[in-house]
Structure 1
């Protein structure tokens, strides 16, 4: 609370930032979300100060928000260098600093985490961490021993891989194990056999998380969505594919792969997945206020969305789509945008969900995305 208050005072934030930032939940500060643990006080999980007219340097108080995972300071007038205190945020997975006037070098720890894939450091050109470039000119008498050492290390790695492969071939493998192959026109600069990076759950663990699928909180073409809790008390949503679902394994893997690789405050965050024989499930962040269409159709009789809230939801949804279209390389097209696929959290912040029909934009000089079949939902498909 003291850290976020220091940020408020430094930048003179003109929001409803009074009292406790996280409590009570319904009156949490605009532009931030909190993580509510069973034991211990809540912590600030995400902070969105985009386009707020912030000026001056980046406050060192951000480094005191130890639980911060997402920090968006884009489209402001911030100057100076990126402080080393941001490197101390071990949980930080997304840092957006685009549209500012920052100078100097990126702190080495932040740059390393970005290059290792643990942090998405947005620069406006790609939604994947930048690759490390080396421009150093090493003398020959230094390069030769380095090459020799690298060759030896490569041989050791090959021996270890061969041993593991031999051990894996002798072990029992689950049936129907599916390796993800990116859809046509996925990023050609990446490896063609990308694996899912998020936590993998067994079907038995999914049963424990959902308390044997006790409470249904939603349903779609993929299957039912269940309420669940992780071991640390974090509330999650578990989308389980039903046997009668029209969505196949490929669409499931497309959605899982997409959520594992892209990160934005207006896209639903995937925590993990289950691909255990015939059981397919996605585990993603819990959105307590459900889908937008439930509010628009009057199913929440206790509350009615104001015009200001509707405008903000529309803007946040557009920001999520803009990130897919302009912030990713290649651009990604959702193809099933509708009010039931826009979810709201406790602060009525909008996040786009359901990426099973996503398609990558071709690298050739295409001006539109074409498909061999019509996809989407009737009533939401563009007439042309």
Structure 2
């Protein structure tokens, strides 16, 4: 049986009536797992004997109570359902049972979830719950017309399948479509937990199928889950029953029968065609000649028009994304007054603003003289339709007006992380646990970018000034101007342009030869990790023997077992954290900044390490830049093409 372990982050959980199994409590950290074993033993029989092969239960007493959910695929028989549930929870217990965890396993036949929080009320499902996605690595092939035709039929199939599932008593439906062409039959499946209302089920499934957009529609298969609903489609049969829906595409155009020769038609048809062809050739020559005269102005006009078409095309695709009038932005920012200026980056200034309805905004006004600024604008606008996560800054919309390129974000009152951790007074407001929460939030945001967003995204410019803080000091990654998008099976690249970013946060392989991958972001995260817990900049002077930057300083202290000396004095003087906790944090950070990209963990690994206090950590190797001075400014170097293989690992995440 093919196993895929997925990440589940369950929010907004509220209690509901359900069967509770009371387990005898004993001392030690195994009480939670004992409760999980006890309750999971009852699930195979409960699930297989229920009308729609679905069961929930709980066991234990606070603080070790465990909540579970099991759902079999709607066409399984009782025996297969019971066996699948037993297998699912056996794997969950053996591989991921730790107290205060939320974990889920998605199999071809069964979904199993357990949590230390009560998530069993279907009305409490939230729209911001993270997704588990798996995409077929193959794309629909053929000419553009064929690809669009097949992709459209697949979307129609999914739409009808989810509507049928929502209306069915068991909240389950399957389907198949015959495109009428050489493409194979496409099979679909959609399912919700049967305790969901028809409306909630349909809303849940439609949210998932909305992931099939113009970019992802060319995939030959996909499987997307949240806790209570999921859908899947493939170009092969992946379930046991006969499809409930049957769609048929328009047949391929028939070849007309041969008729009696009519040679007299040839000159009537050919002469006008030749004349028209000559006219087209002349027009093409004249257009090239004119472009040669107009030169740069014509090219620039084309670029601007292309960007405006991109912006206006995006409006309406997301209900949370708008194209704003330039006059409204001017009014909101008091004509970009200096009093409203929040800061300035490499590609333009950021201003605070307020619309007439009271909505506070942050406005990035890209510098009109920066050619890279226009590329950044297009990059961020393209990403907005794909990125939605609580640890990413929300882009409300944009504005394109002549030379003006403007991005409008949600306003975050506490501004950026660097204003706190590098300020002598403000960093005292962040205790040890709040700093760890910030680190974990950044890690979850990066994990989403690398693995769980619609396309893999490498940020390439992670640093404290690009981490913004909301009113509750929750971190949100911002500034995607340098980000790169990859397909899910390709998470590396190299640039033949100049490398642009901030030295000190840039991975060695990127700064030296232009190679970037998800491991480049991991390096930046490791530097950021060390800066947050130490309150020191990597670019500052931190002398410890021969080491003159933060990475070298941390590496030296690690080797000499002097971990406490790295921690911010404001943390040590008040409520010093446990020494073993400090050691684990420094260990994880140093694993992230290892010089060799292949040695660094993925963000899946990092999240798992941060979530567990018992996971055995590897011994770090020496970091990059540990014996050189680091300049904290944007610089660029020319690079040569190269490549390196990378590997990603799924992980179960704690809450």
TM-score, scaled to structure 1: 0.58
Contact 1:241 1:281 in 2 (8 A): yes
Cα 1:249/1:74, change in 2 over 3 Å: farther
The 5 Å alignment of 1:284-363 reads 284-298=409-423, 301=426, 304-361=429-486
Alignment partner of 1:268 out of 377, 393, 417: 393
Q: How far apart, in 2, do the equivalents of 1:6 and 1:113 lie?
A: 20
The 3 A distance-change label for structure 1 pair 208 and 194 is closer
Q: Using the alignment, how far apart are the partners of 2:65 and 2:469 within structure 1?
A: 26
Question: How many residue pairs align between the two structures?
Answer: 275
Q: Which runs of 5+ in 2 are unaligned?
A: 1-10, 18-63, 70-101, 105-112, 134-191, 214-222, 236-242, 252-300, 510-655
Would you say the 8 A contact 1:177–1:275 is kept in 2? no
Unaligned runs of at least 5 residues, structure 1: 11-51, 58-72, 87-91, 149-172, 183-192
Cα gap change, 1:247 to 1:136, in 2 (>3 Å): same
Corresponding residue to 1:177 among 305, 314, 325 = 305
Q: Distance in 1 between matches of 2:302 and 2:358?
A: 29
**Structure 1 pair 302–181 and aligned structure 2 pair: CA distance change class (3 A):** same
Change (3 A) 1:231 1:94: farther
Q: 1:83 to 1:358 in 2, by over 3 A?
A: same
Q: Secondary structure at the match of 1:272?
A: strand
Give the equivalent residue in structure 2 for 1:83. 122
Change in CA separation of 1:339 and 1:287 when aligned onto 2, cut-off 3 Å: same
Give the superposition deviation at 1:174.
12
User: Is residue 2:319 matched to residue 1:195?
Assistant: no
Instruction: Verify: 1:368 aligned to 2:492, yes or no.
Output: yes
Partner of 1:33: none
Report the alpha carbon displacement of residue 245 of structure 1 after superposing the two structures with TM: 3.9
Residue 128 of structure 2, aligned match among 73, 76, 94: 94
* 1:360 Cα offset (Å): 2.1
Q: Secondary structure at the match of 1:255?
A: helix
SS in 2 for 1:369: strand
Partner-residue secondary structure (3-state), 1:217 = strand
> For each residue in 1:114-163, what CA deviation from the matched residue of structure 2 results, as whole angstroms up to 9, or x when unmatched?
434699xx9469xxx97888954549xxx7xx979xxxxxxxxxxxxxxx
- Local SS of the residue matching 1:226: strand
Q: How much has 1:378 moved relative to structure 2?
A: 1.8
Alignment of 1:109-128 (within 5 A): 109-116=203-210, 123=224
Shift of 1:236: 1.2
Q: How far apart in 1 are the matches of 2:225 and 2:206?
A: 19
Q: Distance in 2 between matches of 1:130 and 1:277?
A: 43
Residues 47-58 of structure 1 mapped to structure 2, 5 A cutoff: 55=67
Aligned match of 2:639:
none
* Residue 308 of structure 1: how far off its partner (Å): 1.6
Who is 1:230 aligned against? Answer: 355
For residues 56 and 362 of structure 1, the distance between their equivalents in structure 2, rounded to whole angstroms, comes to 34
Conserved in 2, the CA contact under 8 Å of 1:334 and 1:357?
yes
Contact 2:456–2:485, Cα closer than 8 Å, also in 1: yes
What do the CA deviations read for 1:201-232 (whole angstroms, capped 9, x no partner)?
Answer: 12111112223223111221121111112333
Question: Separation in 2 of the partners of 1:248 and 1:378?
Answer: 20
Q: Within 1, Cα distance between the matches of 2:305 and 2:491?
A: 37
Secondary structure in structure 1 of the residue aligned to 2:383:
helix
Q: Is the 8 A contact 2:352 2:361 kept in 1?
A: yes
CA distance in 1, matches of 2:127, 2:365: 26
Match in the other structure for 1:189? none
Between Structure 1 and Structure 2, whose CA radius of gyration is higher? 2
| CA separation of 1:268 and 1:94: change in aligned 2, threshold 3 A | same
Deviations 1:23-74 (Å, cap 9, x if unpaired)? xxxxxxxxxxxxxxxxxxxxxxxxxxxxx987267xxxxxxxxxxxxxxx87
Aligned counterparts of 1:112 and 1:363: Cα–Cα separation in 2 = 22
CA distance in 1, matches of 2:380, 2:449: 13
Distance (whole Å) between structure 2 residues aligned to residue 343 and residue 225 of structure 1: 13
Is the contact between residue 419 and residue 426 of structure 2 (CA under 8 Å) also seen in structure 1? no
CA contact (8 A) 2:416 2:466 kept: yes
Aligned-residue Cα RMSD (Å) equals 4.5
**When the two structures are superposed, what TM-score results if normalisation uses the length of structure 2?**
0.36
CA distance in 2, matches of 1:180, 1:286: 25
1:381 counterpart = 2:506: yes
* 1:95 Cα deviation from its structure 2 partner: 3.0
Q: Given that residues 74 and 97 in structure 1 are in contact (C-alpha distance below 8 angstroms), is that contact kept between their aligned partners in structure 2?
A: no
Q: 1:205 to 1:286 in 2, by over 3 A?
A: same
Matched, 1:204 2:301: no
1:362, 1:369 within 8 Å by CA — same for their partners in 2? no
Distance in 1, matches of 2:246 and 2:12, equals 49
Tell me, in whole angstroms, the C-alpha distance in 2 between the residues paired with 1:80 and 1:304: 33
Contact 1:272 1:282 in 2 (8 A): yes
In the superposition, relative to structure 1, how do residues 207 and 174 fare at CA in structure 2: closer, same or farther (>3 Å)?
Answer: farther
Shift of 1:349: 0.4
Structure 2 distance, partners of 1:314, 1:130, is: 33
Going by fraction, where is helix more abundant, 1 or 2?
2
Contact 1:180–1:195 (CA under 8 A) maintained in structure 2: no
Find the aligned partners of 2:355 and 2:461 in 1 and give their Cα distance.
29
